[in-house]
């Protein structure tokens, strides 16, 4: 039987590298769309500027080379991945237009399942000029999204775009509000800096291993019957060696609404919904990595 084709955007980047590998290992035919070539090619890459709808539509069409096949889904991770790296409007335009184009092209070609990378930054705490407290912890998907930066705003807009395409076409679009993505080579430096508990306060000490992200993407593509879903994606534990109750008492003393018992090193970015909807579990934990 011919392999199902999956399109991954941003596969030449940090998280995308692990997503490409995962889908290849799971028996998919994977096509990476990125503006730059990957350092470690594990599948075909088409160099595409996702800001150009024509390029996106052409690259994912069944006639883009190789066997004629409609992709079963698109995992869209390409983006400028943080605020203030580029001028504000460049980040906004790139992230918003690339996502719009991916969804428009998917709709036009009858591709009915898309995953997009949203971010915990959409809650607005990460890049706020003056620190803002979470309204409550752990933060779940009902927490208000209050970004002031163009990166977080682009992710809010992208989630709204996803919902619009679901309304227009019935397309299933899962937006993952990702915690800080860690790859195997990230862990040593973070562990070495555990004493500086302030440094990861603005991401509420959350993290998610890129390999767990990749598994969640596969589950979201293979699941049927979802609409436009937003799901936090974070490990169960925090990226600090301190008890979460201690971190909250020390760094978030004004947060009064604490909605679950803060046992052990529990994450302040709730993954309860992703577990329930997808049957997903985070397998990689910071204290168990080299």
Ligand X SMILES: NC(=O)c1ccc[n+]([C@@H]2O[C@H](COP(=O)([O-])OP(=O)(O)OC[C@H]3O[C@@H](n4cnc5c(N)ncnc54)[C@H](O)[C@@H]3O)[C@@H](O)[C@H]2O)c1
Chain centre distance of CA 126 = 15
Q: Nearer Cβ to ligand X, position 262 or 271? A: 271
Q: Which of 32, 45, 64, 94 binds ligand X (CB under 6 A)?
A: 94
Query: Minimum CB separation from ligand X for residue 1, in Å?
Result: 31
3-state per-residue secondary structure call for 55-90: HHHHHHCCCCCCCCCCCCEEEECCCCCCCCCCCHHH
- Residue with Cβ nearer ligand X (262 or 267): 267
As measured in angstroms, the least distance from the Cβ of 14 to ligand X is 4
Q: Can you tell me which of 74, 91, 102, 117 binds ligand X, judged by CB under 6 A?
A: 117
* Identified binder of ligand X from the candidate list 24, 35, 163, 252, rule CB under 6 A: 35
Asked if 81 touches ligand X (CB under 6 A), the answer is yes
124 near ligand X (CB under 6 A): no
d(CA 239, CA 213): 16
Q: Which x/- pattern over 143-182 shows residues binding ligand X (rule: CB under 6 A)?
A: -----------------------------------x-xx-
Q: Which two tokens stand for residue 122?
A: 């959409």
Under rule CB under 6 A, residue 286 binds ligand X? no
What ranges in 110-147 are assigned the alpha helix state H? Answer: none
Q: Which residues contact 142 (CB under 8 A, 6 or more apart)?
A: none
Closest CA to 105 of 66, 62, 65, 167: 62
Which of 31, 48, 125, 235 binds ligand X (CB under 6 A)? It is 48
Question: What is the rounded CA–CA span in Å between residue 118 and residue 106?
Answer: 18
The residues facing 209 across adjacent strands are 182
For ligand X, which residue has the nearest CB? 13
**Closest CB to ligand X among residues 73, 262:** 73
C-beta of 183: minimal distance to ligand X in Å?
Answer: 9
What minimum distance in Å lies between the beta carbon of 37 and ligand X?
Answer: 9
Buried b / exposed e across 6-32, counting CB within 10 Å, b at 16+? Answer: bbbbbbbbebbbbbbbbbbeeebbbbb
Q: Residue 167 Cβ, how far from ligand X at the closest point, in Å?
A: 23
Give the CA distances from residue 212 to residues 18, 109, 146, 179, 208, in Å, rounded to whole numbers and listed in that order. 9, 29, 27, 11, 7
d(CA 27, CA 14): 21
Between 231 and 270, how does the x/- string for binding to ligand X read (CB under 6 A)?
----------------------------------------
| Residue at token pair 């619009």 | 164
Count of alpha carbons within 13 angstroms of residue 272, beta-carbon side: 11
- 45 touching ligand X, by CB under 6 A: no
Q: What does the per-residue mask of binding to ligand X show for 175-214, with x meaning CB under 6 A?
A: ---x-xx---------------------------------
Nearer to ligand X, 33 or 248 (CB): 33
Would you count residue 51 as binding ligand X (CB under 6 A)? yes
CA nearest neighbour of 6 among 172, 233, 22, 98: 22
Binding site for ligand X (CB under 6 A): 10, 12-16, 34-36, 48-51, 77-81, 94, 98, 117, 119, 178, 180-181
């Amino acid at each position: 039987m011919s392999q199902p084709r999956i399109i991954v955007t941003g596969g030449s980047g940090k998280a995308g590298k692990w997503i490409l590998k995962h889908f290849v290992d799971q028996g998919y035919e994977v096509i990476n769309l990125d503006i730059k070539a990957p350092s470690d090619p594990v599948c075909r890459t088409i160099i595409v500027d996702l800001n150009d709808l024509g390029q996106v539509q052409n690259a994912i069409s069944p006639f883009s080379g190789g066997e004629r096949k409609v992709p079963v889904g698109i995992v869209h991770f390409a983006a400028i991945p943080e605020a203030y790296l580029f001028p504000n409007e460049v980040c906004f335009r790139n992230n918003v237009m690339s996502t719009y184009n991916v969804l428009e092209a998917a709709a036009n070609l009858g591709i009915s399942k898309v995953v997009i990378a949203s971010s915990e930054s959409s809650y607005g705490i990460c890049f706020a000029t003056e620190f803002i407290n979470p309204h409550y912890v752990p933060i779940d998907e009902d927490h208000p999204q209050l970004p002031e930066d163009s990166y977080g705003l682009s992710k809010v807009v992208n989630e709204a775009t996803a919902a619009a395409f679901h309304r227009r076409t019935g397309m299933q679009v899962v937006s993952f509000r990702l915690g800080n993505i860690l790859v195997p080579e990230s862990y040593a430096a973070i562990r070495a800096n555990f004493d500086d508990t302030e440094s990861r306060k603005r991401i509420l000490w959350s993290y998610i291993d890129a390999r767990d992200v990749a598994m969640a993407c596969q589950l979201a593509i293979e699941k049927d019957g979802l609409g436009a879903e937003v799901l936090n994606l974070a490990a169960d534990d925090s990226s600090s060696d301190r008890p979460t109750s201690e971190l909250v008492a020390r760094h978030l003393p004004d947060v009064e609404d604490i909605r679950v018992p803060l046992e052990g090193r529990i994450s302040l970015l709730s993954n309860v919904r992703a577990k329930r909807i997808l049957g997903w579990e985070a397998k990689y934990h910071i204290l168990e990595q080299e």
